């Protein structure tokens, strides 16, 4: 079987869609399947192409037996609705153009959260006359409204119609939570074609370990109880609340507690400015690190914070970082 998978995030990017797709593709290859991934030049979340890559029409590499085709896209940082939409649409169009040059596939899989990728998957499946599988990682456009990026209107209405069309046209839908499955059932989507495959963790990499002494010294964490967040610093995550908590700790004299925020995203610059305004000596910001190093940084953390904005929609979400915490044996708030 040849699986053609469309995703706009893939390693060496380290966000949840990139990791999930890579780990699934790697296991399919181990089981004897052939897998081709169409993605773009790695650039998330800063909007800068990673070293060793270029943003060009077509480049191909093999990663752990996975054929990875990278196409050109409009690259921008993960901020600003217009520029991000251009990013999404350019990848959609480039993936559609590239797909006919990939050898015959038996199935086309496309993953959200943004479903312009799913549009490319559907169009590709029609061109190749094979089934289309929609992997649903987030409920668009509801999540856009939830973070305040857009409000109800013509655009949201059009996106909702597109969303429903994709659900109906998909031969199968894979959701990452049972709540998503129920939400689709409630909207009239045939439950027989919805399958739940939750996120998980690679237990060979994420497991309890002693604190990394080298990193502990580098980041001046010796003797500290470290509260940490690892992941995207985005609009949905409400990390301002974490800074407010750090401010309260500092005011109460709890110098033994230190907060570490590792990652990047649309809100990071604003968060760093806020920390400076509050003169937070008990907060450290660490830039995104390669996936292979993430367990070393988790080892620094005594208590993990997994935070989302207070919103009814986010009650249906299970962040993938929770599974990494569980694998590492780290308590979660």
The CATH number that applies at residue 127 is 3.40.50.2000
Q: Is residue 324 part of a domain?
A: yes
- Domain ends where: 161, 196, 231? 196
The pLDDT tens digits of the residues spanning 241-295 come to: 999 999 999 999 999 999 999 998 888 999 999 999 999 999 999 998 988 999 9
100, 171: one domain: yes
Residue 153, domain member (yes or no): yes
Spatial CB neighbours of 61, under 8 Å, sequence gap ≥ 6: 68, 70
Does residue 60 belong to any structural domain of this protein? yes
On whether residue 204 sits in a domain, the answer given is: no
Q: What is the pLDDT of residue 151?
A: 58
Number of domains in the chain: 2
Select from 272, 237, 234, 274 the least CA-distant residue to 77: 234
- Give me the pLDDT at residue 143, please: 57
For 311, the domain range is 213-328
Do residues 144 and 46 both lie within one domain? Answer: yes
Q: For position 161, what pLDDT does the model report?
A: 87
Residue 172's alpha-carbon distances to 88, 106, 118, 134, in angstroms, are 23, 14, 12, 6
**Angle at which helices 116-128 and 81-98 cross, to 10°:** 10
> Do 237 and 279 share a domain, yes or no?
yes
What are the φ/ψ torsions at residue 173 (nearest 5 degrees)?
Answer: -125, 130
Q: Which residues of the chain have pLDDT under 70?
A: 78-80, 140-153, 313
pLDDT at 262: 96
Q: What is the pTM of this model?
A: 0.83
Identify whether residues 280 and 314 lie together within a single domain: yes
Residue 146's pLDDT is 53
Is residue 207 one of the residues assigned to a domain? no
Are 293 and 179 contained in the same domain?
Answer: no
Question: Do 41 and 102 belong to one domain?
Answer: yes
Q: Is residue 141 part of a domain?
A: yes
Question: Is the same domain home to 109 and 173?
Answer: yes
Model pLDDT, residue 242: 96
| Cβ contact 283:243 at 8 Å | yes
Mean pLDDT value across the chain: 91
């Amino acid at each position: 079987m040849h699986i053609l998978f469309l995703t706009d995030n893939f390693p060496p990017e380290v966000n949840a869609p990139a990791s999930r797709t890579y780990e699934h593709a790697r296991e399919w290859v181990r089981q004897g399947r052939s897998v081709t991934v169409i993605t773009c030049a790695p650039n998330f979340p800063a909007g800068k192409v990673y070293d060793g890559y270029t943003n060009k029409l077509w480049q191909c590499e093999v990663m752990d037996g996975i054929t990875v085709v990278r196409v050109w896209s409009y690259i921008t940082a993960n901020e600003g609705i217009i520029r991000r939409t251009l990013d999404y649409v350019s990848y959609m169009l480039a993936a559609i153009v590239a797909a006919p040059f990939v050898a015959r596939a038996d199935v086309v899989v496309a993953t959200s959260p943004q479903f312009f990728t799913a549009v490319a998957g559907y169009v590709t499946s029609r061109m190749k006359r094979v089934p289309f599988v929609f992997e649903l990682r987030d409920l668009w456009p509801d999540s856009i409204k939830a973070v305040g990026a857009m409000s109800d209107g013509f655009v949201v209405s059009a996106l909702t119609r597109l969303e429903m069309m994709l659900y109906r046209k998909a031969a199968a839908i894979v959701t990452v939570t049972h709540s998503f499955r129920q939400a689709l059932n409630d909207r009239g989507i045939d439950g027989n074609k919805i399958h739940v495959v939750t996120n998980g963790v690679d237990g060979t990499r994420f497991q309890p370990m002693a604190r990394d002494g080298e990193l502990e010294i580098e980041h001046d964490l010796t003797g500290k109880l470290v509260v940490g967040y690892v992941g995207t610093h985005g609009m949905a995550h409400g990390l301002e609340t974490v800074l407010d908590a750090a401010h309260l700790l500092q005011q109460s004299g709890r110098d033994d507690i230190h907060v570490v925020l590792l990652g990047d995203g649309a809100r990071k610059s604003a968060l760093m400015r806020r920390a400076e305004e509050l003169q937070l000596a008990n907060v450290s910001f660490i830039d995104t690190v390669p996936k292979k190093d993430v367990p070393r940084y988790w080892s620094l953390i005594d208590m993990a914070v997994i935070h989302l904005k207070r919103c009814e929609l986010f009650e249906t979400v299970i962040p993938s970082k929770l599974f990494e915490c569980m694998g590492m044996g780290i308590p979660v708030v």
